[in-house]
Amino acid sequence: MLSINPEYIVNEQQHKKSVVIPYSKWKTILEYIEELEDIKAYDQAKSENLETIPFEQAVQEIQKGL
């Protein structure tokens, strides 16, 4: 689990308005988000049960401009 230890910026009523975290932690969070987006896209593609073709065939079709 990622340990963040954020600092909060609060308004006059002491309500949290913003979070300050180290840049390295922010980069790690972005990497996690990108990975989750990839997993979600993969899961969605798998659930659509679309016809699949071999990789070599896909490359040939792309090269032919199909």
Q: Report the alpha-carbon distance of residue 66 to residue 64 in Å, rounded.
A: 6
Q: Where are the domains of the chain?
A: 22-64
Supply φ then ψ for residue 20, to 5 degrees. -115, 125
Question: Alpha-carbon distance 16 to 7, whole Å?
Answer: 10
pLDDT digits (tens, 9 = 90+) for 4-62: 899 999 999 999 999 999 999 999 999 999 999 999 999 998 898 888 899 999 999 99
Q: How far apart are the first and last CA of the chain?
A: 45
d(CA 46, CA 66): 23
